[in-house]
Amino acid sequence: MSHTDAGAELDPVHPVALPVSRPAGLTAAEVAERRARGQVNDVPVRSSRSLGEIVRANVFTRFNAIIGVLWLVMLFVAPIQDSLFGFVILANTGIGIVQEWRAKQTLDALAVIGEARPTVRRDGTALPVAVHEIVLGDLIEVGPGDKVVVDGVCAEADGLEIDESLLTGEADPVVKRAGDPVLSGSFVVAGGGAFQATRVGREAYAARLAEEASRFTLVHSELRTGISTILKYVTWMMVPAATGLVVTQLVVKNHDPRDAVARTVGGIVPMVPEGLVLLTSVAFAIGVIRLGRKQCLVQELPAIEGLARVDTVCLDKTGTLTEGGMDVTELRPLDGADEAYIRKVLGALGESDPRPNASLQAIIDACPDSEDWRCVESLPFSSARKYSGAAFSESDGESSTWLLGAPDVLLPPGDPALAETERLNEQGQRVLLLTRTSRDLDDPDPARGGRPTALVVLAQRLRPDAAGTLRYFAEQDVSAKVVSGDNAVSVGAVAGKLGLAGTAVDARHLPADRAGMAAALDRATVFGRVTPRQKRDMVGALQSRGHTVAMTGDGVNDVLALKDADIGVAMGSGSEATRAVAQIVLLDNSFATLPSVVAEGRRVIGNITRVATLFLVKTVYSVLLAVLVVCAQVEYPFLPRHLTLLSTLTIGVPAFFLALAPNKERARPHFVRRVMRYALPGGVVAGAATFVTYLIARGLYTGGGRLDAQTSAATLTLFLVSLWILAIIARPYTWWRLTLVAAMGAAFLLVLAVPALQAFFALRLVGLTMPWTAVGVAVVAAAALEWLWTWAGRRFAE
């Protein structure tokens, strides 16, 4: 291809000439007119559920409906003591709504900080606007890393290459020229330009694909899926047990209808693990609020859970381990080249790129522009090519073409300059090669036959928090892999300075097949010269080995890998495209925030596993008691007030504190299995021990008031067994956990000791024989629980 005058249209495959003049875009009057007609990009950007959705999600649940109906019945047929469970449900629902609303406010405030602000040209001036302020016909400027937010037609193209893989699945960039369509949801990987908006709002391509989608929820959350599975099985168990209980209490025993209804409701209510979903939502919401205070935007709520399960984190060097900025520390002319002339070339190259990356910005700062050089063609930098280029008309009328990029890409093997480059890379320096070429920029190999002119040595700024964060991951058994487009030796030296030991591998020599790549990833820690497609392949290879992978990055070359990773983490200063596909955005660009996210996830998962066991033990023993009562044809031993007291002291209050406590235990899979392996034996032992005490009391107590005495004995056994289950679940003990268990025991003793509370809860221990028998049964049950808990831990160890 021959050089052309500025303003002429070039072959669209590679470079384009710079335009002489630019369209001015819409006028203020035209913008106002289009707004009046409703031709605006009105697709709502939602980071969380609306207030109405939060209220509906917390109020209109299957179990709330069951409890609500039973509560209304009890309000009419029994004393207020037996209706306390309904007020507890109201309080729980209110807490859930308030906490999720607070989390929504945090999310929305952070989303405004982190949202994309496209550059729109109006009245000849480029200005950033919010996405929803774009109108039909707007001229939108784009550059590397920018996301295309509405559909349009390309109006200007300066080496513009757009990746449409998020829409089509094809990873190869598409070169655009004037008149070509651009689709919302794609992003720019190289070059720059402008396009005119032709479809906005819900008519845009990406909006039509995702109209019903919300960024608030992940496709999969093992915790929430597991809880849904558990609740489904609970519902199946409840129906026959509750039906049998109703028949037994109302028909077979033929008791006073009011008392029969109260005892029937007393049997049904504890089957419902009503607080489990609430505490899960509250734990997630408080996690969002805590992370929000650290400038961490959780774009998808269960991403906190996902990062806690991660066992491998892939780190992009630039912007993660090193700060975005660089400094030119040295120019090394090759073959006697003149340094002053080299500076002119570098200054002209800097001026030729309207959106320089960090390396080129450092060169611009060190080498001012040579105003008497005119750029004729430009070839923008791309991560796949590893170099950029430009052709110039110099001040003396001569023309020249230059390339700037990776020495090991631009030079043939064995070139003497590579040895010098290698020495600099071993010191952790980044090195670029400036080479003059006689070939056109659209040549398949423009570097072939080029003349190396200078090495540009760049110092990379290490993030002060990177070493500590890498140390944290090592302590938590999370494997760190550094994947970078830079030279492998240089990246390895940087990783070494941060304490990350391991072999550095040039990704150009990695096996192409997934199995071979996975094996290489297991052996090495640092990978250089990684292309964007290879980053994506690496994530897939690690996942094929069963790893849960997090990917961090800030550049457009990280987008594909971020999208495919289990959890994508983007820096707030990164490109719009990376922020759009990531589940977590670190708005303050602090790599040190990641341990906080991991810790929050582990707190949520570990603690919800604990409290889920508490709730489901209650469900199991309630169903078992109902079955035993039906089979034995006896009165149900409890009134609702008794189980409200027991649930509050052994589940409700302790679960709230346990769900929000610190927990650094690494998240493990198989949530349902891990919960049920303890809940089933715990519930069976508690239910069986309680029924044994109840039967003994029925034989011991006869005459008036016998049912109250029988109930009180059974309540004592059930409380003691439930308290022991709480004591087991609270392990390992800390001062506050021991205090919590002791406080719950003291509260129950207070109820037994104060006459007014005895009367309120209908608890009256008669004599000494039966109370001590109840204690003895509870001691035997506690010993059985210890043995079963130990056996289950060994039998189902993961």
> For 651-669, how does the pLDDT look when each residue is reduced to its tens digit (9 = 90+)?
888 988 888 787 777 667 7
| Domain termination residue (choose one: 392, 419, 437) | 437
| Domain termination residue (choose one: 554, 589, 624) | 589
Confidence band of 154 (pLDDT split at 50, 70, 90)? very high
Q: Find the mean pLDDT for residues 662-687.
A: 82
Bridge partner list, 404? 388, 434
CA–CA gap between residue 291 and residue 107 (Å, rounded): 10
Query: What is residue 748's predicted lDDT score, i.e. its pLDDT?
Result: 93
Query: Do 556 and 502 lie in a common domain?
Result: yes
Query: Do 754 and 606 lie in a common domain?
Result: yes
Query: Do 752 and 611 lie in a common domain?
Result: yes
Checking if the pLDDT of 108 tops 90, the result is no
Checking if the pLDDT of 375 tops 80, the result is yes
Burial (CB count within 10 angstroms: exposed 0-12, middle 13-18, buried 19+), residue 153: middle
Q: What is the CATH number of the domain that holds 771?
A: 1.20.1110.10
Residue 545: CA atoms inside 13 Å, Cβ hemisphere, count? 18
Q: Look at residue 718 and tell me if it is in a domain.
A: yes
CA–CA gap between residue 744 and residue 304 (Å, rounded): 31
Q: How many CB atoms lie within 10 A of CB 742?
A: 12
Nearest 5°: CA angle at 232, between 227 and 234? 95
Q: For residue 435, give the nearest of 418, 452, 420, 449 by alpha carbon.
A: 452
Query: What is residue 689's predicted lDDT score, i.e. its pLDDT?
Result: 94
Domain coverage including residue 418: 333-437
Q: Look at residue 692 and tell me if it is in a domain.
A: yes
Q: Find the mean pLDDT for residues 639-657.
A: 86
CA–CA gap between residue 751 and residue 747 (Å, rounded): 6
The phi-psi region of residue 589 (left if phi > 0; otherwise alpha if psi is between -120 and 50; otherwise beta) is left
Q: How many CB atoms lie within 10 A of CB 490?
A: 26
pTM score, whole prediction: 0.70
Q: What is the CATH number of the domain that holds 342?
A: 3.40.1110.10
CA–CA gap between residue 360 and residue 364 (Å, rounded): 6
Query: Do 277 and 308 lie in a common domain?
Result: no
Return the higher-pLDDT residue of 431 and 159.
Answer: 431
Bridge partner list, 506? 528
The kind and range of the H/E element at 194 are strand 187-199
Query: Do 412 and 542 lie in a common domain?
Result: no
Confidence band of 13 (pLDDT split at 50, 70, 90)? very low
Confidence band of 11 (pLDDT split at 50, 70, 90)? very low
Q: For residue 314, give the nearest of 475, 481, 468, 474 by alpha carbon.
A: 481
Query: Do 513 and 554 lie in a common domain?
Result: yes
Q: Look at residue 22 and tell me if it is in a domain.
A: no
Say how many residues make up the chain. 798
Query: Do 408 and 523 lie in a common domain?
Result: no
Q: Look at residue 61 and tell me if it is in a domain.
A: no
Q: Look at residue 353 and tell me if it is in a domain.
A: yes
Query: Do 570 and 675 lie in a common domain?
Result: no
Report the Cα–Cα distance between both ends of the chain, in Å, rounded: 64
168-205 in b/e form (b: 16+ CB < 10 A) is eeeeebbbbbbebebbbbbbbbbbbbbbbbebbbebbb
CA–CA gap between residue 30 and residue 135 (Å, rounded): 9
Domain count, the chain: 3
User: Which residue carries 């392990």 as its tokens?
Assistant: 731
As given in the structure block, the two tokens for residue 481 are: 């892999």
Q: Look at residue 121 and tell me if it is in a domain.
A: no
Query: What is residue 160's predicted lDDT score, i.e. its pLDDT?
Result: 86
Is there a cis peptide before residue 732, judged by omega within 30 degrees of 0?
yes
* pLDDT per residue as tens digits for the range 755-770: 888 888 888 887 788 8
CA–CA gap between residue 220 and residue 27 (Å, rounded): 46
Query: What is residue 168's predicted lDDT score, i.e. its pLDDT?
Result: 61
Q: Would you please indicate which residues are annotated as catalytic (active-site) residues?
A: 316
Query: Do 272 and 311 lie in a common domain?
Result: no
CA–CA gap between residue 271 and residue 265 (Å, rounded): 10
CB 17, CB 9: distance < 8 Å = yes
Query: Do 308 and 274 lie in a common domain?
Result: no
Q: How many CB atoms lie within 10 A of CB 38?
A: 10
Checking if the pLDDT of 214 tops 50, the result is no
| Domain termination residue (choose one: 522, 555, 589) | 589
Query: What is residue 690's predicted lDDT score, i.e. its pLDDT?
Result: 93
**DSSP single-letter state for residue 14:** S
Query: Do 366 and 504 lie in a common domain?
Result: no
Q: Find the mean pLDDT for residues 96-104.
A: 76
Q: How many CB atoms lie within 10 A of CB 322?
A: 26
CB 542, CB 518: distance < 8 Å = yes
Q: Which of 21-35, 210-224, 597-611, 730-744 has the lowest mean pLDDT?
A: 210-224
Q: What is the CATH number of the domain that holds 529?
A: 3.40.50.1000
Query: Do 316 and 342 lie in a common domain?
Result: no
**DSSP single-letter state for residue 513:** S
Average pLDDT, the chain: 80
Edge-to-edge strand order for the sheet containing 399-405? 322-333, 451-462, 430-437, 399-405, 387-393, 374-379
Q: Look at residue 182 and tell me if it is in a domain.
A: no
Q: Find the mean pLDDT for residues 690-698.
A: 90
Indicate the SS3 state at residue 650: helix
Q: Look at residue 371 and tell me if it is in a domain.
A: yes
Is there a cis peptide before residue 19, judged by omega within 30 degrees of 0?
no
Query: What is residue 749's predicted lDDT score, i.e. its pLDDT?
Result: 92
